[in-house]
Amino acid sequence: MERMIPRFTLDGVGDAEVSVYPFATEDGLGLELTRFLRAESDDVILLVHGLTSASDVFMMPEHRNLASHLLDNGFTDVWALDFRMSGRYPYDTETHRYTLDDIALYDFPAALDVLRRHIGGRRIHVIAHCLGSVSFSMSLFAGKVSGITSLTCNSVSLTPRVPAFSRLKLRFGPAAMEYLVGLPYIDPRFGEAPVLTRGWMVAKTVSLFHNECDVSACHLQSFQWGAGKPAMYEHANLLPVTHKRVADICGASGLHYYRHVRRMVEAGRAVKYDRDNPAHRDLPDDYLVNAADVGTPMLLLAPERNKVFTDSNNHLFRVLEKRRPGRQELAVLPGYGHLDPLIGKNAHLDVFPKIVDFLKRHGG
| Side chain identity, residue 230 | P
- DSSP characters for 5-17? S-TT--TTS-SSE
Element (H, E) at 77: strand 77-82
User: Is residue 213 part of the contact set for Zn ion (CB under 5 A)?
Assistant: yes
- Interface stretch with Zn ion, choices 85-93, 109-117, 193-201, 218-226 (CB under 5 A): 218-226
Q: Please select the residue that binds Zn ion; options are 31, 51, 215, 283, rule is CB under 5 A.
A: 215
CB of 199 to Zn ion, least distance (A): 19
User: Is residue 249 part of the contact set for Zn ion (CB under 5 A)?
Assistant: no
* Size of interface with Zn ion, in residues (CB under 5 A): 4
Q: Which is nearer to Zn ion, 127 or 220 (CB)?
A: 220
Within its chain, how far is the Cα of 78 from the centroid? 17
Q: Which is nearer to Zn ion, 177 or 215 (CB)?
A: 215
- In the bound state, the residue with its beta carbon closest to Zn ion is 218
User: Is residue 319 part of the contact set for Zn ion (CB under 5 A)?
Assistant: no
- Interface stretch with Zn ion, choices 58-66, 84-92, 215-223, 319-327 (CB under 5 A): 215-223
Q: Is 282 exposed, middle or buried (0-12, 13-18, 19+ CB in 10 A)?
A: exposed
Q: Which is nearer to Zn ion, 215 or 302 (CB)?
A: 215
Q: Which is nearer to Zn ion, 212 or 293 (CB)?
A: 212
Within its chain, how far is the Cα of 212 from the centroid? 25
- Interface stretch with Zn ion, choices 101-109, 210-218, 252-260, 307-315 (CB under 5 A): 210-218
Q: Tell me which residue of 175, 199, 144 sits closest to 25, measured CA to CA.
A: 144
Q: Which is nearer to Zn ion, 76 or 216 (CB)?
A: 216
Query: Rg of the chain's alpha carbons, rounded to an integer?
Result: 19
CB of 293 to Zn ion, least distance (A): 43
CB of 254 to Zn ion, least distance (A): 23
CB of 221 to Zn ion, least distance (A): 8
- Interface stretch with Zn ion, choices 61-69, 84-92, 180-188, 211-219 (CB under 5 A): 211-219
Q: Please select the residue that binds Zn ion; options are 124, 170, 218, 316, rule is CB under 5 A.
A: 218
Q: Is 175 exposed, middle or buried (0-12, 13-18, 19+ CB in 10 A)?
A: exposed
Q: Mask 223-242, x = binds Zn ion (CB under 5 A)?
A: -------x------------
Give the separation between CA 118 and CA 114, rounded to whole angstroms.
7
Give the separation between CA 78 and CA 38, rounded to whole angstroms.
9
Is-contact 272 124, C-beta < 8 A?
A: no
Is-contact 306 155, C-beta < 8 A?
A: yes
CB of 216 to Zn ion, least distance (A): 9
Q: Which is nearer to Zn ion, 213 or 330 (CB)?
A: 213
Q: Is 313 exposed, middle or buried (0-12, 13-18, 19+ CB in 10 A)?
A: buried
Q: Up-side HSE of residue 321: CA atoms within 13 Å toward CB?
A: 10
| Binding footprint of Zn ion on the chain (CB under 5 A) | 213, 215, 218, 230
